[in-house]
Amino acid sequence: MQGQQSHSGRGRFITLEGGEGAGKSTQSERLRRRLEARGIRVVTTREPGGSERAETIRSLLLSGAVKPYGAFAETLLFASARADHIDRTIAPALENGAFVICDRFADSTRVYQGEVGEVPRVLVSALERVAVRSASPDLTLVLDVPAKLGLARASQRRELAGEERDRFEAEGLSFHSRVREAFLAIAAAEPERCAVVDAAGPPDSVERLIWAEVEARLLTPLEVAGRPANG
């Protein structure tokens, strides 16, 4: 435990954000492997979802069934799912000293429902404070790709899996370009928490860029050397 007291046993919370087809799920898995190779315990999860009840809300939201009720209703449901996900999955893992890697989190609500969905910022912030409480990310990696490239990747993946486009992927190019700009604006406003990673290249090079950020911003020297406190 020597040298690890500054984190007082709490793990660390990493979120991956970005538009469609940025490679977040692939990179979440690759980052998990890299951390585990250093003996760090990791929990990977995703939003919307990540707990049983939140996964039920995910199905509702992504099916488009809530869209007719408007962006505010969707925002409320994203926040409800998030609160349950934090209580059941994220907070217990962090308390146990694990690193949590979450594929999307509160920045996605700020972007999709707030900036692009035009739900007033004051409402999005109030719901974020209620839902997130002390589970705010230590590091947010914004995976950045041009919207056109991201949509092409997402549709290729969907066709291979034989799936339909979800509620948000079905929006047009200008929607997704606004999503990209909104994520970049958050990263520019909160540089301490957020790192923008160029995700247009092949997965191996994106993985290396992500690892460089994680090593530089989050890991202690003991963790870099593969002697973690939580292992």
CB of residue 15 to ligand TMP, shortest distance in Å: 10
Only one of the segments 108-116, 156-164, 200-208, 214-222 lies at the binding site for ligand TMP (rule: CB under 6 A); that segment is: 108-116
Name the minimum Å distance from CB 25 to ligand TMP: 7
The Cα 101–Cα 213 span in angstroms is: 14
Joined tokens for residue 24: 């977040």
Residues 172-231 that bind ligand TMP (CB under 6 A): none
- Residue placing its CB nearer to ligand TMP in the complex, 10 or 67: 67
DSSP letter for 86, please.
I
Residue from 14, 50, 83, 112 that binds ligand TMP (CB under 6 A)?
Answer: 112
DSSP state of 82: H
Q: Does 78 bind ligand TMP (CB under 6 A)?
A: yes
User: Which of 102-127 are b and which e, b meaning 16 or more Cβ less than 10 Å from the residue's Cβ?
Assistant: bbbbbbbbbbbbbbbbebeeeebeeb
H helices of 86-120, in order, are: 91-95, 106-108
Restricting to residues 15-44, which ones interact with ligand TMP according to CB under 6 A?
A: 20
Residue ranges in contact with ligand TMP by CB under 6 A: 20, 47-48, 78, 104, 108-109, 112-113, 168-169
